Structure 1
Amino acid sequence: MISFVTKMYIRYLGFGLLIWFPGALHAQHATPSCSAPRLDGGFFSPKQETYSDETALTYTCNDGRKPTVKGWWATSTCLNGTWSPEPQCIDEKACIAPDIPNAQYIEKSGWYNDGHKIRITCNEGYDPKDHDVTTTCINGKWSSVPVCEKNIHACGEPPQIPHAVIILQGYQEFFAADTTVQYECEDGYTVEGGDAKKYVYCIAGNWTEGPVCRTSTTSGSNERDGRPLYTKVEHCGAYPNVPNGDVVQQNDEFLKYQCNAFYTQVGSDTVKCYNNGSWSQLPICQTAFCSLHPADPVWKNLRLSGVEYIKEGEKKYISCIRQDFFSLVKCINGETVSTRCCDRYYHYYGRCL
């Protein structure tokens, strides 16, 4: 057993060590400092060999150079042993990475050399204004920076439905035209037909009618909640007309529609008959092509013998008036996007924009 005198000796020995070596305890919690940064082509203040954490310094660049941020001077802060952002002077003809709202592009660094070209992609629900998707660094400034504007056919947030949730990975403010959004009813609720999942569609800026989630105990009887039951299709009489679509399958329980070529289907392809003589919601056959008319001045440089059609998402090489020159025309969201007239060499190497 350790005696009382021995315990006191150990206690005072430990206290003495802390008095002799206070730095040992402090070192466990010290934050790394920063060494003076190396700044080629510029100078900074204050000038020191080391800087404590959270110290800020100001720097500027020599003639012919500039900081990697806006303005002729910049600041950098010591954070956990590293300067943030790193002080750097670049050629004054280089360009700082542009801030383009609602767009994305491959950002290789915070700045780009003179002559560098950037190609952007607008976020979902936005389109490039005037189909302009590139900008070039020219003598320190970006030429005609692209603008991403809200698509007139895009939709806002989907409708909120009681006892249902949207199956999405994250919140979105806008949705592109023809977007499909899936709902799922909470436990104990189902939608008509016994399926716990339902879809809505963005059509010309509006969402189609959403599902109704009912308690499972009453879902078997539509008449209790005021909704009619399904019956044989013959009860509803003549088949409903779906513009640009046709009935491709039929039986006593339902009709199945299919859209014609160059049209895309929005909504369920199956239609049923209610016992009150009305049909369930019909599908919509939406235009899914672009057309090029010879009389349109936009296509005056192309050889068009008649109206040229391009399916949604597809592209075609169209001959130009100039011999052996072509334009690549794409159909995107019902609108045409085309390159200028170029020869095969420029198209092959992606230099025809």
Structure 2
Amino acid sequence: MSGRYFGFVLLVLFPVELHAQTAAEPCRAPRLVKGFVVPEQETYSHGTVVSYSCDNGHKPAVEGWWATSTCQNGVWSQPPQCIDNNACIPPVIPNAEYTATSDGWHPNKDVIRTKCDKGYEHKDYAATATCINGTWTPLPVCEKREDACDTPPQYPHTVIVNQKYQELFSVDSRVQYECEHGYTIDGTRTNKSVICMGGIWTEGPQCSRQTASSGHGGSGTAVGGAGSSGGGIHTVPVSRCGNPPLVEHAEVVETRDMFVRYQCNNYFDEVGPEEVMCLSDGTWSQLPTCESNHCFVDTDQNRKLLSVGMIFIKYGENMKLECKRHSSWLTEHHAVVQCTNGNLNIGECCSKYNQWSC
């Protein structure tokens, strides 16, 4: 076979590989107003890095007085952009989020309002920052809440399920453990879930090697002293009872052959058994109930407080909420909101510098 025909065969056999090698597209020259790009070309091949700077009175829309951008398959990474010197680039605020602008920068005197991540709170109740002549006023700081918990403890032969790893959990967070295959929950510590309470996790499970007599029992396990051989009521696989019954303010978080496990929603306390079983007469064993343990205030409907949506406060706790601005106030004002046995009390609006004025 001649070299000409051999080359034709290669093209027929390997069209995908050849296409992949030529798939990367070039970029058109970036359109940069009030600045210049080096090197200056009409098109740039994939992977080309350009540098750019801005005219007097302007600066790149990223950190520094010059910047770079890379052609990535027909698109510029961080497209070159020059903005007014008095504008601000988006700040980086750890453990917080805020509404970003669509054009990637903030004009002079623009104000951002931050929201701390779960488990964090604003230091000194400062939640806003203002762009002043190209520089942000002191940025809010989100610090760990005193009632938040660090990563849940690791117990031998266990793993946490249905939860991504994170370093901080807010109060009332609940995580669930599962035993390694071949191990089962020890009878003295049967709770698979732990809850963050006051900065400390409740006691977790202890998994021990499973034996023939361990576990939740087979379909002949007696309930209330009635044996399977005596015709009494006993537990059977949950599939025989159909779908688990609904429990108000709770969800089924685990389904096994012989039981289902419920978990109450946030701001509700679980009362009664955590595990529910199917009985041989077609009914379910006792269900848990979820009792409210909170008050709530709708700040969107409150004339005194700044509108931030629905706020929930647990029994016995209090929270400082920002008040709506008044033309005569020089600083932010806050009101203490308390929840006592289901009764909500909203205090007077006070400046943090003049608490005596309440």
Q: Which residue of 1 aligns with 2:140?
A: 146
Query: Aligned AA for 2:110?
Result: H
Question: How many Å separate the matches in 2 of 1:79 and 1:328?
Answer: 45
Question: How many Å separate the matches in 2 of 1:160 and 1:339?
Answer: 39
Q: Which residue of 1 aligns with 2:259?
A: none
**Of 164, 171, 179, which residue of structure 2 is paired with 1:170?**
164
Q: Rate the CA distance shift 1:12–1:217 in 2: closer, same or farther, 3 A.
A: closer
Structure 1 runs of 4+ aligned residues shifted over 4 Å read 15-18, 24-28, 192-197, 267-271, 327-333
Q: Which residue of 2 aligns with 1:208?
A: 202
Contact kept? 2:184, 2:215, Cα under 8 Å: no
SS in 1 for 2:205: coil
SS in 2 for 1:14: helix
Contact kept? 1:95, 1:137, Cα under 8 Å: yes
Question: How many Å separate the matches in 2 of 1:172 and 1:312?
Answer: 28
Contact kept? 2:121, 2:143, Cα under 8 Å: yes
Contact kept? 1:66, 1:72, Cα under 8 Å: yes
Q: Rate the CA distance shift 1:213–1:313 in 2: closer, same or farther, 3 A.
A: farther
Contact kept? 2:97, 2:116, Cα under 8 Å: yes
Unaligned runs of 5+ in 2: 10-14, 217-266, 275-292, 327-348, 350-358
TM-score (norm 2): 0.58
**Of 314, 321, 334, which residue of structure 1 is paired with 2:297?**
314
Question: How many Å separate the matches in 2 of 1:75 and 1:172?
Answer: 33
Q: Which residue of 2 aligns with 1:29?
A: 21
Return the offset for 1:92.
2.0
Query: Aligned AA for 2:121?
Result: D
> Residue 97 in 1 paired to residue 90 in 2?
yes
**Of 47, 61, 67, which residue of structure 2 is paired with 1:74?**
67
Contact kept? 1:77, 1:83, Cα under 8 Å: yes
> Residue 338 in 1 paired to residue 303 in 2?
no
Q: Which residue of 2 aligns with 1:350?
A: none
TM-score (norm 1): 0.58
Between the two proteins, what is the percent identity of the paired residues? 45
Q: Which residue of 1 aligns with 2:154?
A: 160
Question: How many Å separate the matches in 2 of 1:192 and 1:106?
Answer: 48
Question: How many Å separate the matches in 1 of 2:20 and 2:215?
Answer: 68
Unaligned runs of 5+ in 1: 1-7, 19-23, 222-262, 272-287, 289-310, 320-324, 344-352
Q: Which residue of 2 aligns with 1:114?
A: 108
Point out the structure with max Rg over C-alpha: 1
> Within 5 Å, which residues of 2 pair with 1:1-353?
8=1, 11-14=2-5, 29-30=21-22, 31-109=24-102, 110-191=104-185, 198-214=192-208, 215-219=210-214, 265=269, 312-314=295-297, 326-327=304-305, 334-340=317-323, 342=325
Return the offset for 1:130.
1.6
Question: How many Å separate the matches in 1 of 2:47 and 2:116?
Answer: 37
Question: How many Å separate the matches in 1 of 2:213 and 2:172?
Answer: 33
Return the offset for 1:116.
2.8
Query: Aligned AA for 2:35?
Result: G
Q: Rate the CA distance shift 1:55–1:316 in 2: closer, same or farther, 3 A.
A: closer
Return the offset for 1:336.
1.9
RMSD: 3.9
**For residues 194-213 of structure 1, what are the alpha-carbon distances to aligned partners after superposition, in whole Å with 9 as ceiling and x for unaligned?**
99862111122211111222
How many pairs align?
Answer: 246
Query: Aligned AA for 1:326?
Result: K
Question: How many Å separate the matches in 2 of 1:14 and 1:162?
Answer: 66
Question: How many Å separate the matches in 1 of 2:194 and 2:8?
Answer: 72
Contact kept? 1:201, 1:207, Cα under 8 Å: yes
